[in-house]
């Protein structure tokens, strides 16, 4: 018995192999390393064999999944979510449908502040419960690793509570979680007239607590007219970096405001949104090595133009695509839908979108040495799709094509049991 698990006879085994490269850029984003009639063998939670089905036998494994007529991909990585929150905002959704803008609702005391009010009052156990359902949903659409940000607490106690909730989620859920501290999501209403004091609180009180208790891997700031200035962002993120956290920025989402340039300056792991980033900013970002995380679900949900991913890819940037799952600007965990949107609306090829939710998304979390592709030695995070080729996943859009999900070598979901 060679393998604990063998997935074989796959019509297409899409490896996204990078040969050790951290990210794919340019034309490499379209190189998926597809093996027709492929097989992948798993031992001790890791990938032990990748190749042709001819080279392996069913008897080689304790358990086999016959993927005949199906497509196998690396587990997806959702590199940007805010999925821990209380309450919902259907009424704001209704107001937007009737014509109000996201910014108008925020200016009238709604938006992020609505969710902050509900979240501060919630019991941690209820936040865990609702977030577990959302994580189930993420996993159900193929995300075996998910980044989760705090940011709906916005006071010391509530931000720490949210990060503790995220830690509890990791103990309870099979999805691997990358926790991010987003204490600088917006200025909370009680600090509106004394914003420097809020930045002091983030830097002097929240960050030390977050890092001394190892509650987050990275720190994010929403740099925007309605949130934090460049100087405030720089102060918070430099302090976070000095404490060993990786840096990411909600940059240039609503306006071009220098967020992307700041991400480059600070050596950020990712710069996210970037809808309005200038060509000069993209050149700086490229030189810095940051991953550009694009979020088509936000544009769809808010009725805004989609970012043009071609600009980013042609500028040589590693592009990732994520959901941004949150109650205000994208209430969806469906990464398969985001891939279809990216292809249909952001001028990405289907191959590029697959790289964008696997290897490059893993790189946005600093994990592409371990996850994001099907290569020997990597963690066995694998997806089996009920489609004869990878293109069908995007083309037949808005539905869930998953047949089986493997996390760290364990089959955590299987739609049909006939092959078990």
By CB under 6 A, name the binding residues for ligand NIG. Answer: 82, 111-112, 115, 222, 250, 253, 298, 324, 326-329
Residue 298 partner contact from Fe ion, ligand NIG, none using kind-dependent CB cut-offs of 5 to 8 Å: ligand NIG
How many alpha carbons fall within 13 Å on the CB side of residue 321? Answer: 35
- Closer CB to ligand NIG, 142 or 328, in the complex: 328
Please tell me the distance from the alpha carbon of residue 5 to that of residue 1, in angstroms, as a whole number: 10
Kindly report the number of other CB atoms within 10 A of residue 234's CB atom: 17
Quick one: 253 or 360, whose CB is closer to ligand NIG?
253
235 binds, among ligand NIG, Fe ion, none (CB under 5 to 8 A by kind): none
- Please, what is the minimum distance in Å from the beta carbon of residue 4 to ligand NIG? 39
Q: Closer to ligand NIG at the Cβ: 23 or 298?
A: 298
Q: Which is nearer to ligand NIG, 83 or 406 (CB)?
A: 83
User: Cα angle vertex 296, ends 168, 341, to 5°?
Assistant: 115
What residue 327 binds from Fe ion, ligand NIG, none (CB within 5 to 8 A, per partner kind)? ligand NIG
Give least dist CB 420 to ligand NIG, A: 40
Q: Which does 328 bind (CB under 5 to 8 A by kind): ligand NIG, Fe ion, none?
A: ligand NIG
64 binds, among ligand NIG, Fe ion, none (CB under 5 to 8 A by kind): none
312 binds, among ligand NIG, Fe ion, none (CB under 5 to 8 A by kind): none
Angle at Cα 299 formed by Cα 381 and Cα 252, nearest 5°?
95
Question: Residue 106 CB, nearest distance to ligand NIG (Å)?
Answer: 7
Residues near 276 by Cβ (< 8 Å), separated by ≥ 6?
252, 253, 254, 255, 256
CA-angle at 130, arms to 74 and 174, nearest 5°: 30
> Minimum CB separation from ligand NIG for residue 388, in Å?
36
The DSSP bridge partners found for residue 14 are 34
Q: Could you say which of Fe ion, ligand NIG, none residue 232 binds, taking C-beta under 5 to 8 angstroms by partner kind?
A: none
Q: Which is nearer to ligand NIG, 42 or 298 (CB)?
A: 298
For residues 236 and 258, give the distance between their C-alpha atoms in angstroms, rounded to a whole number: 15
Structural contact between residues 50 and 376, judged by C-beta atoms closer than 8 angstroms: yes
CB of 192 to ligand NIG, least distance (A): 17
First to last CA, the chain: 17
For residues 32, 33, 39, 42, the Cα torsion angle rounded to the nearest 10 degrees is -80
CB 295 → ligand NIG: shortest distance, Å?
A: 7
Of the candidates 265, 329, 269, 327, the residue with the CA atom closest to the CA atom of residue 295 = 329
Nearer to ligand NIG, 295 or 394 (CB): 295
Residues 248 and 268 sit within 8 Å (Cβ to Cβ): yes
Q: Is the CB of 298 or the CB of 374 nearer to ligand NIG?
A: 298
Q: How far is the CB of 409 from ligand NIG (least distance, A)?
A: 33
Q: DSSP string of 197-254?
A: HHHHIIIIIIHHHHHHTT--SEEEEEBSTTSB-HHHHHHHHHHHHHTT-EEEEEESSS
Q: In terms of CB distance, is 321 or 382 closer to ligand NIG? A: 321
Minimum separation from the CB atom of position 277 to ligand NIG (A): 15
Residue of closest CB approach to ligand NIG? 328
33 closest CA partner among 381, 351, 320, 313? 351
User: Which residues contribute to the site for Fe ion (CB under 5 A)?
Assistant: 324
Q: What is the rounded distance in angstroms from the CA atom of residue 338 to the CA atom of residue 6?
A: 29
Please, which residue, 330 or 384, has the CB nearer to ligand NIG? 330
Cα 308 from Cα 327, distance rounded (Å):
24
96 binds, among Fe ion, ligand NIG, none (CB under 5 to 8 A by kind): none
Q: Cβ of residue 259: shortest distance to Fe ion, in angstroms? A: 12
């Amino acid at each position: 018995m060679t393998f604990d698990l063998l997935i074989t006879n796959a019509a297409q085994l899409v490896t996204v192999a990078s040969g050790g490269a951290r990210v794919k850029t340019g034309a490499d984003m379209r190189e998926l390393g597809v093996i027709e009639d492929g097989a992948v063998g798993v031992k001790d939670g890791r990938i032990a064999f990748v190749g042709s089905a001819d080279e392996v036998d069913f008897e080689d494994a304790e358990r086999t999944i016959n993927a005949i007529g199906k497509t196998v991909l690396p587990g997806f990585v959702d590199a940007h979510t805010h999925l821990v929150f209380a309450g919902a905002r259907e009424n704001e959704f209704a107001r937007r449908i009737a014509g109000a803008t996201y910014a108008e609702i925020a200016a009238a005391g709604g938006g992020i502040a609505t969710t902050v009010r509900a979240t501060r009052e919630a019991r941690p156990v209820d936040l865990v419960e609702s977030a577990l359902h959302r994580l189930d949903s993420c996993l159900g659409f193929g995300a075996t690793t998910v980044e989760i940000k705090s940011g709906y607490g916005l006071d010391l106690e509530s931000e720490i509570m949210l990060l503790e909730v995220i830690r509890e989620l990791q103990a309870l859920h099979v999805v691997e979680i990358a926790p991010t501290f987003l204490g600088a999501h917006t200025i909370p209403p009680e600090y509106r007239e004394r914003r420097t004091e809020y930045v002091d609180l983030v830097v002097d009180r929240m960050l030390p607590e977050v890092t001394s208790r190892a509650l987050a891997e990275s720190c994010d700031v929403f740099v925007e007219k309605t949130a934090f200035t460049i100087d405030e962002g720089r102060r918070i993120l430099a302090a976070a970096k000095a404490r060993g956290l990786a840096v990411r920025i909600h940059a240039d989402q609503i306006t071009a405001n220098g967020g992307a340039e700041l991400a480059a300056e600070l050596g950020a792991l990712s710069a996210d949104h970037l809808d309005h980033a200038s060509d000069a900013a993209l050149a700086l970002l490229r030189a810095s090595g940051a991953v550009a995380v694009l979020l088509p679900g936000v544009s769809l949900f808010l009725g805004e133009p989609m970012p043009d991913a071609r600009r980013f890819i042609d500028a040589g940037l590693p592009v990732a695509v994520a959901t941004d799952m949150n109650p205000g600007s994208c209430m969806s965990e469906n990464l398969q839908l985001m891939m279809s949107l990216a292809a249909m609306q952001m001028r990405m090829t289907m191959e590029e979108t697959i790289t964008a939710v696997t290897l490059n998304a893993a790189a946005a979390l600093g994990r592409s040495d371990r996850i994001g592709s099907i290569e020997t030695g990597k963690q066995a995070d694998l997806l089996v799709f009920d489609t004869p080729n990878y293109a069908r996943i995007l083309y037949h859009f808005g539905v869930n094509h998953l047949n089986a999900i493997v996390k760290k070598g364990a089959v955590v979901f299987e739609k049909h049991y006939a092959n078990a």
